[in-house]
Amino acid sequence: MRKVIFFDKLIKQLIFITLALRPIAVRLIIATNIYIAYYENIFLTNYKETPQNHKANLKPKCES
């Protein structure tokens, strides 16, 4: 009988912990998504294609 009570309490504690931590986890996920989107946006708006960083210039020039 004691074992059953112990496991019942343990299960209740686990449920309580998961319910308590869920909002924190959701906030962390939302915060990281906003952070990533914000910095990607800054990178894309500040990046301007110039002759120096153009993709064609990244290819090795073939020596003939």
DSSP letter, residue 1 = -
Please report the pLDDT score of residue 16 as a whole number: 86
Phi, then psi, of 49 in degrees rounded to 5 = -80, 120
Are 51 and 57 in contact by the 8 Å Cβ rule? The answer is yes
Average of pLDDT values for 33-40?
79
Maximum mean pLDDT: which of 7-11, 45-49, 51-55: 7-11
How far apart (Å, rounded) are the C-alpha atoms in residues 42 and 36?
A: 10
DSSP letter, residue 51 = T
Higher pLDDT among residues 17 and 48, named by residue: 17
User: Hey, what are 2's tokens?
Assistant: 């004691």
Question: Quick one: pLDDT band at residue 62, thresholds 50, 70, 90?
Answer: low
pLDDT at 39 over 80: no
How far apart (Å, rounded) are the C-alpha atoms in residues 5 and 28?
A: 35
